[in-house]
Structures are given as structure tokens and as C-alpha cells.
């Protein structure tokens, strides 16, 4: 927190006087209000570093997943939100549809973030990347049996696939990407094929699918890469056993690996637009990019940003689906209808 000499003097005067109109904070400290659907150590470290460097104090309102957008809509202009942060382009797209963003104006964002990871009209952008990939049993599956996302729908894997429910945005965005890639009919056949291969009714999050493979309940699963990386980077012995039993395949053939983002933008009713821009650009600094890679196991969006993470390095380079992530939002309603039609709960 930055306190100027003048405001210290004012604070002294306030202490002496019984009645005081303004607190020291209001007098001296600039505040940035962030609505975030994330609750990671990396983000807390980024907030702290930003406060230390700028003297701007961050206040966060956190609400998990889909609740954040509902909360912002409910709070409306009273929210005081300057910045909105959430995960998955599908959620960013919904927030944009609800009018929760205003366009940013920043050359740094346009220079540092690849075009496919930004909203076409500058409403939001990705500051970290995640890949939705295929986890497999090291014991029961040979990596060359996996030829792409289509493998999950191959009858050969009957009763051997674990996936979380279709209500989750990660699956909706993946199917939205596959609709773009293959067209409606092929994408729907794929979803139907995956349902036929279910080893169990979808339950739990991605991490539970990885544990289910290790426990022998299934052989293949769809997961975001960082859940596996979190287990592999854990010092817990039980986690290490899971990490040893399971590996990830990055299905890059036939269209590339499905990549999604953690993203942010300037809130529609932001009071503090300048500080919001300062913060958004800070998310793209080498320092912040390193924190996402090292503390949350996400990939930096800034290709040149250095970091140390042996598990991420171990995954190797991969070809990403070049589709603009905004398309995942545009195809979202169709993906949801498709899940309903094929009976993917
Ligand atoms: Fe997640």
C-alpha cells in the first residue's frame, strides 16, 4: 500500500480530531476491483507482485465457475468491478454476451497474445493456456493406439472411457471446437460414440477421471493437462503412484490439440480503466507468465516467457488447433443440444 506524505499528515490530523470524513485508505490508495472465478496460488502471487510494483491495492470478489457471471450480473453497476477474470473461452464468451466487458485498448495485449487467443473485437484475451487431452493407463494402453480425439469414440474402447459431465464448460468447449473442425454430423457421431464407450456415468471433475484410470475403473479419459501436472508435481506419495500409472496423449493429428484459455478483460462499468489496463498488461509480463506456469501448471500465452516446470517440459511441444477461441462460444449452444441428443449427462 502506498501512502503519500500528505496523506500521512492527514491521517495524523484525523487521529487528533474526533470526527474525520475520510479514511486514510480512501485518501491515499488507488484500488482495483477484480471479479475472478479463479482461486489459485499463482493469482495471489500475481496480485501481490502487482500491488508491490504499482502501489495499487487489489480487492477481489471470487465466485467459482459459472457463478461469477451470475454474481456480476446481479451486482450490476454496484459491483464496482474493474477487471473480470475467468477460465474457458466459453465462459468469457457468455460474459461478453451479457455485456460485462468493454473493449480494451492496448498494444501490449495485441503484441503479446496470439490472435487466436483473443476476442476479435478486443473484449477479452487469454493470459494462460490449457490443453484438453487424453489421459491413458500406462499399463493397459499403448500410446500408439491413440490417434486423436476420434479414438475416444472407437468401439474398441467399449466400457473403457471416463469423462466428466457435459454440463461442464470444458466439455462444451471441446465439442464446440470439434463441431467447427468436423461439422455437425461427424461431431455428433463422435459424441455418441464416446457415450457408448462410457465405463461409468460421468461423475467428478477432471482429477477424478485421472484417479479412476489409476484405480483401474477405465483406461482413457478426457482431461485438462494441468490436473495431471498438479498430481505429477505433488510430493504426496499416493499422487506419485497415480502420476506413474497414467500418462497424457496430446492428440495433435487431424486438426491439432484443443487449447483453451484463462482470460480477462476490462469490466463494462469499470471506474478505474487505467489501472485495469495496467493490470491486464501485467498479466502478460514475464514475471506473471512464469507464475502461471510454475504455480498453476498452465502454459504461458507469451511464447518467449521463461519458466521452470519439468512436468510441462516433459509433455513436449504440440500442434494446437488454430481456431479462434471465440468460436468455442459461438458453437456453444449447438454443442449443448448435441450432448442432450446423444444422452451425455
Ligand atoms: Fe480447471
HEC profile of the chain: CCCCHHHHHHHHHHHHCCCCCCCHHHHHCCEEEEEECCCCHHHHHHHHHHHHHHCCEEEEEECCCCHHHHHHHHHHHHHCCCEEEEECHHHHHHHHHCCCEECCCCHHHHHHCCHHHECCCCCCEEEEEEEEEEEEECCCCCHHHCCCHHHHHCHHHCCCEECCCCCCHHHHHHHHHHHHHHCHHHHHHHHHHHHHHECCCCCCCHHHHHHHHHCCCCCEEEEEHHHHHHHHCCCCHHHHHHHHHEEEECCCCCCCEEEEEEEEEEECCCCCHHHHHHHHHHCCCHHHHHHHHHHCCCEECCCCCCCCCHHHHHHCCCCECCCCCHHHHHCHHHHHHHHHHHCCC
Question: 4-129+260-307 maps to which CATH number?
Answer: 3.40.190.10
The C-alpha cell that represents 238 in the structure block: 499416493
Q: Which residues contact 96 (CB under 8 A, 6 or more apart)?
A: 119, 123, 124, 265, 329
- In Å, how far are 9, 130, 193, 252, 334 from 189, measured between CA atoms? 71, 25, 6, 20, 14
Task: Of 227, 163, 158, 228, give the one whose Cα is nearest residue 197.
Answer: 158
Say if residue 12's pLDDT is above 70: no
Q: What is the pLDDT of residues 276-333, one digit of tens each?
A: 999 999 999 999 999 999 999 999 999 999 999 999 999 999 999 999 999 999 999 9
**pLDDT tens-digit map of 100-132:** 999 999 999 999 999 999 999 999 999 999 999
CA 58 to ligand 1 centroid distance, Å: 23
Q: Exposed, middle or buried by CB within 10 Å (0-12, 13-18, 19+), for 296?
A: buried
Q: How far is the centre of ligand 1, averaged over its atoms, from the C-alpha of 224 (Å)?
A: 7
- Asked if the domains 4-129+260-307 and 130-257+321-342 are classified in one and the same CATH topology, the answer is yes
Q: Cβ atoms within 10 A of the Cβ of 85, count?
A: 23
Question: What confidence tens digit (pLDDT) does each residue in 191-214 have?
Answer: 999 999 999 999 999 999 999 999
- 228-241: pLDDT as tens digits: 999 999 999 999 99
How far apart are the CA of 86 and the centre of ligand 1, in A? Answer: 10
Asked if the model's pLDDT at residue 20 lies above 90, the reply is: no
- Please tell me the CATH code under which domain 130-257+321-342 is placed: 3.40.190.10
**Residue 4 pLDDT:** 30
Q: How far is the CA of 291 from the centre of ligand 1 (A)?
A: 16
CA distances from 138 to 34, 142, 206, 212, 213 (A): 42, 7, 18, 13, 9
Q: Say how many Å lie between the CA of residue 146 and the centre of ligand 1.
A: 23
> Ligand 1: distance of its center to the CA of 239 in Å?
18
Domain residue limits, the chain: 4-129+260-307, 130-257+321-342
Q: Are strands 57-62 and 258-267 parallel, antiparallel or unpaired?
A: unpaired
Do 83 and 105 form a contact (C-beta atoms < 8 A)? no
Instruction: Quote the pLDDT of residue 28.
Output: 66
Whole-number Å distance, alpha carbon 293 to ligand 1 midpoint, is 14
Per-residue confidence at 65, pLDDT binned at 50, 70, 90? confident
126 CA to middle of ligand 1, Å? 15
What gap in Å lies between CA 238 and CA 103, rounded to an integer?
Answer: 46
Question: What is the average per-residue pLDDT within 56-82?
Answer: 91
CA of residue 129 to ligand 1 center, whole Å: 11
Q: What's residue 290's pLDDT?
A: 98
Amino acid at each position: 500500500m502506498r501512502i503519500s506524505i500528505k496523506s500521512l499528515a492527514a491521517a495524523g490530523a484525523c487521529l487528533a480530531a474526533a470526527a474525520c470524513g475520510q479514511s486514510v485508505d480512501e485518501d491515499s490508495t488507488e484500488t482495483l476491483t477484480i471479479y475472478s472465478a479463479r482461486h489459485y496460488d499463482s493469482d495471489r502471487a500475481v496480485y501481490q507482485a502487482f500491488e508491490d510494483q504499482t502501489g495499487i491495492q487489489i480487492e477481489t470478489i471470487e465466485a467459482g465457475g459459472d457463478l461469477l457471471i451470475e454474481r456480476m450480473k446481479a451486482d450490476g453497476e454496484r459491483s464496482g468491478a474493474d477487471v473480470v477474470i475467468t477460465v474457458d473461452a466459453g465462459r468469457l464468451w457468455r460474459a461478453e454476451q451479457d455485456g460485462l466487458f468493454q473493449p480494451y485498448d492496448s498494444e501490449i495485449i495485441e503484441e503479446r497474445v496470439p490472435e487466436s487467443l483473443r476476442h476479435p473485437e478486443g473484449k477479452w484475451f487469454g493470459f494462460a493456456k490449457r490443453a484438453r487431452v487424453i489421459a491413458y493407463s500406462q499399463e493397459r494402453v499403448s500410446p500408439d493406439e491413440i490417434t486423436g480425439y476420434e479414438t475416444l469414440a472407437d468401439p474398441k474402447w467399449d466400457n473403457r472411457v471416463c469423462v466428466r459431465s457435459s454440463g461442464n464448460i470444458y466439455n462444451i468447449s471441446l465439442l464446440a471446437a470439434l463441431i467447427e473442425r468436423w461439422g455437425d454430423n461427424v461431431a455428433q457421431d463422435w459424441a455418441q460414440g464416446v457415450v457408448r464407450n462410457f465405463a461409468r456415468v460421468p461423475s467428478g471433475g477432471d482429477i477424478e477421471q485421472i484417479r479412476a484410470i489409476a484405480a483401474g475403473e477405465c483406461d482413457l479419459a478426457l482431461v485438462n493437462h494441468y490436473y495431471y501436472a498438479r498430481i505429477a508435481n505433488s510430493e504426496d506419495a499416493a499422487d506419485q503412484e497415480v502420476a506413474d500409472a497414467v500418462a497424457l496423449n496430446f492428440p495433435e493429428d487431424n486438426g491439432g490439440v484443443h487449447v483453451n484459455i484463462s482470460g480477462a478483460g476490462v469490466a463494462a462499468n469499470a471506474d478505474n480503466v487505467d489501472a485495469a489496463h495496467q493490470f491486464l498488461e501485467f498479466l502478460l509480463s514475464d514475471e506473471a507468465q512464469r507464475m502461471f506456469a510454475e504455480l498453476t501448471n498452465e502454459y504461458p500465452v507469451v511464447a518467449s516467457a521463461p519458466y521452470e516446470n519439468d512436468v510441462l517440459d516433459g509433455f513436449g511441444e504440440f500442434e494446437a488447433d488454430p481456431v479462434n477461441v471465440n468460436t468455442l462460444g459461438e458453437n456453444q449452444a449447438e454443442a449443448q443440444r448435441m450432448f442432450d441428443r446423444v444422452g451425455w449427462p
